[in-house]
Amino acid sequence: MSPIENLSEPPHQTPRHKPRPRRRWLWRFGPVFWTITGMLSLVVNVFALEALVSNQLLGGLNDNFALMDQARIQASIPVSAEVPAKFDLPLQTDTTVVLTQSTLIRGARVTLNTGGLSIQNAPTDIVLPAGTELPIHLNLMVPVDQKIPVKLNVAVDIPLNQTDLHQPFTGLQKVIQPYRVLLDQIPNSWGAAFCMALLENWCK
């Protein structure tokens, strides 16, 4: 083969595969996609957190403080004690006593009218037999010095809003209230968020 023929024929080359175009749009829009997804997830979590804190935490605390302020302590308390009693008891009364045995009374004044015998206010000794009833008048001061046993159940009904606990309960409600008002202004759903941001007049 002549050198001219060698120059006219192109050298043998191995055919190469055409490179495929890379999907560069994935690289361009991927970060944006993940950013939007993360923001949406964050917003959803904010809605859930707002509902949890406002309704369950702060709302639960406020409601329970109000219920505690309206509560009452009701109980029956057993009391067992000895109460000292020391005083003078005046005693004035008419009563009748009965002699338990025969009693000698010396120098008694006796008036006796029987048959032809008449004795007027004569001094004598007499014997009153057992069982004789004597009406008497008592006028004396009785000293009392005793310990009296006391056993009873004392009913207790104490409203807490009339005790020193009323002020702490209402104070805690006032502490929580501004946070509840602040959280109530935050939208708790997508619809509320759009209404607040764009369609405020339409949502009324």
DSSP codes, 86-124: EEEEEEEEEEEEE-SS-EEEEEEEEEEEETTEEEEEEEE
- Cα separations in angstroms, 6 against 1, 13, 14, 150: 7, 15, 18, 138
Percentages helix, strand, coil for the chain, rounded to the nearest 5? 40, 40, 20
* 69: pLDDT strictly greater than 60: yes
Q: What does the pLDDT look like over 11-63, one tens digit per residue?
A: 555 555 555 555 555 456 556 555 666 565 655 566 666 666 667 777 788 88
The residue-averaged pLDDT of 78-104 equals 91
Specify the amino acid at residue 58: L
Q: Taking the complete model, does pTM exceed 0.85, yes or no? A: no
In this structure, the number of other CB atoms found within 10 A of the CB of residue 17 comes to 5
Both tokens assigned to 23: 């999907």
Q: What does the pLDDT look like over 157-168, one tens digit per residue?
A: 999 888 898 898
Q: How confident is the model at residue 121 (pLDDT cuts 50, 70, 90)?
A: confident
Both tokens assigned to 192: 């509320």
Contact 123, 175 (CB under 8 A): no
For residue 2, the model assigns a pLDDT of 45
What stretches of the chain show up as alpha helix (H) in DSSP?
3-8, 24-51, 59-70, 166-184, 190-197
Contact 119, 110 (CB under 8 A): yes
For residue 107, the model assigns a pLDDT of 86
Report the mean per-residue pLDDT for the chain: 76
Q: Identify the bridge partners of residue 75 per DSSP, sorted by sequence position.
A: 156
Length of the chain measured in residues: 204
Both tokens assigned to 124: 């004598």
The residue-averaged pLDDT of 179-204 equals 60
For residue 137, the model assigns a pLDDT of 92
